[in-house]
Amino acid sequence: MSPKGHALLSASSSDRWLHCPPSARLCESYDDKGSDYAAEGTDAHALCEYRLRQALGMEATDPTENLTWFNEEMSDCATGYATYVLEQVEAAKQTCADPVVLIEQRVDFSRWVEGGFGTADCIIIADGTLQIIDYKHGLGVLVSAMENPQMQCYGLGALELFDDIYDIDSVRMTIYQPRRDNISTYELSKDELYRWADEVLGPTADLAFAGDGNFLCGEWCCFCKAKHDCRARADANMELDTHRINISVLIWCIVQEPKYKNAREIVHQLCDVVAKNGNLLLNVGPDTDGSFHPDAQRQLFAVGDWLAVCGEAIYASRPWKKAGEGPTGAKTGGYDVKKIARQLEEGLASDNRNGRYTSRDFRFTTRGGAYYAIALGWPEDGSWTIRSWGSNDMPGVRIVTLVGGGELAFSQSPEGLTIKAPEQMPYAYAWPLKVVCG
């Protein structure tokens, strides 16, 4: 929950300033206008605190009559939160006779971040494990605990308070987001958390405090106060606007004997654009009577069939930390008209401007706490290897499945995540590999 006062480099905004360090000073010049959503969240947190204290037998004052946004849904969410925390306390008692439970605990992580502080909703300490539980009332954005910098900052602050008192080995962080049916947990060792603080958090916080570093746009921009005036974001949006393709080869209107891209090309471009946080606008030129050429329809239906199976890796997804990996990059630049004319004669022309993708080419997306590596080629040797998802970069891989298929065997090392492909190709074009950690 929000502390009294606002730090320049707050834990709640850490996802933004860790990705885009100069945004911290840029936002400093803007007033904090607040919103109805923030006010509703504040009320929900106050009710959660009361219900939890009450459930633990602590003295507490019912805030309900002073809550502007109170309703039955909020009441149910607060009760569910208190119940969940009690369950965690009872689980801790299985290995620890007297776990420590702290509510609304102020934590200070200024050893790494200038002026860094925050307030943890709930901290449970038992048998070498420090657990932090954070309530999220928001409905619009699904929040994952996986490598969540806000939670990791809270973990560091809690270690500063209790590491010398208790023998803590690991830190477990949980997001409780009832309106999204989301309980997300991520655990790492104390040493891993300290390493992140020393190698990533501290150096980046120094840049952000000084107003240095590079602007970088991404999903973290959505809560940035300067987003409407940010030149870097405007440039990025202009770049996204270029992601428009035509189903016809070269010609953006209906012609006699038209040539159309195949569904594979369109699916590959769609995956590439979505992984880069873009939107794909597909042009389909109709005939004078409003009908569409049968060849165009066949390709569109084929793309639709692919999306019917694999859409969970595309629809409502968000980009991962990087768009993808592999030897075949999406090329940029102008068109070589003479080259395309030659390709037209051979039936190969395309405005894709990419090489042919291989089984080493992947595009990454995320959704609902799961991670998707969309393989753009089928492996001839029977397995895919994702270099970006080694055990150091994607720890705790629990299940790997092929979307539209079934669970797949896998092995993981610091060099990558290797996934055994099914014996039979279940569908064509691209194959989303869904990874669940925890």
User: Is residue 88 over pLDDT 90?
Assistant: yes
Residue 125 is predicted with a pLDDT of 95
CATH superfamily of 242-437: Golgi alpha-mannosidase II (2.60.40.1180)
User: Is residue 123 over pLDDT 60?
Assistant: yes
Q: How far is CA 208 from CA 197, 222, 326, 431, in A?
A: 15, 18, 32, 39
Interval 395-428: pLDDT, tens: 889 999 999 999 999 999 999 999 999 999 999 9
Give the residue carrying structure tokens 């595009």: 363
Q: What's the average model confidence in pLDDT over 303-314?
A: 95
Angle at 10 between CA 7 and CA 12, to 5 degrees: 140
Task: Write the Ramachandran bin of 138: left for phi over 0, alpha for psi from -120 to 50, otherwise beta.
Answer: beta
CA distance 189 to 192: 5
Around Cβ 343, how many Cβ atoms within 10 Å?
16
Angle at 147 between CA 144 and CA 153, to 5 degrees: 105
User: Is residue 70 over pLDDT 70?
Assistant: yes
Give the residue carrying structure tokens 């770049």: 239
What average pLDDT does the chain have? 86
Beta bridge partners of 189: 170
Residue 6 is predicted with a pLDDT of 57
Residue 245 is predicted with a pLDDT of 58
Least confident residue range of 39-53, 228-242, 258-272: 228-242
**Contact between 118 and 107 (Cβ < 8 Å):** yes
CA distance 333 to 392: 36
In the three-class reduction of DSSP (H, G, I as helix; E, B as strand; rest coil), residue 419 is classed as strand
For the entire predicted model, the pTM comes to: 0.60
CA distance 262 to 411: 34
Q: What is the largest CA-CA distance in the chain?
A: 82
Q: What's the average model confidence in pLDDT over 49-56?
A: 96
In the three-class reduction of DSSP (H, G, I as helix; E, B as strand; rest coil), residue 320 is classed as strand
Query: Would you place residue 141 in the very low, low, confident or very high pLDDT band (cuts 50, 70, 90)?
Result: confident
More confident residue, 62 or 227: 62
DSSP 226: T
Q: Which two tokens stand for residue 392?
A: 């150091």
Query: Would you place residue 354 in the very low, low, confident or very high pLDDT band (cuts 50, 70, 90)?
Result: very low
Amino acid at site 54 = Q
Residue 234 is predicted with a pLDDT of 76
User: Is residue 348 over pLDDT 80?
Assistant: no
In the three-class reduction of DSSP (H, G, I as helix; E, B as strand; rest coil), residue 206 is classed as helix
Query: Would you place residue 239 in the very low, low, confident or very high pLDDT band (cuts 50, 70, 90)?
Result: low
Around Cβ 358, how many Cβ atoms within 10 Å?
15
DSSP 252: S
Domain ranges of the chain: 14-223, 242-437
Interval 356-386: pLDDT, tens: 899 999 999 999 889 999 999 999 999 999 9
Q: What's the average model confidence in pLDDT over 332-359?
A: 52
User: Is residue 334 over pLDDT 90?
Assistant: no
Residue 256 is predicted with a pLDDT of 66
**Contact between 119 and 104 (Cβ < 8 Å):** yes
Amino acid at site 119 = T
Residues constituting the chain: 438
- Of all residues in the chain, what percent carry a pLDDT higher than 90? 61
Q: What's the average model confidence in pLDDT over 273-298?
A: 84
**DSSP E strands: which ranges in 127-179?**
129-135, 170-177
Q: How far is CA 323 from the centre of its chain?
A: 12
Residue 352 is predicted with a pLDDT of 43
CA distance 438 to 431: 23
Q: Which two tokens stand for residue 106?
A: 């102020």
Phi and psi, residue 134, nearest 5°? -120, 125
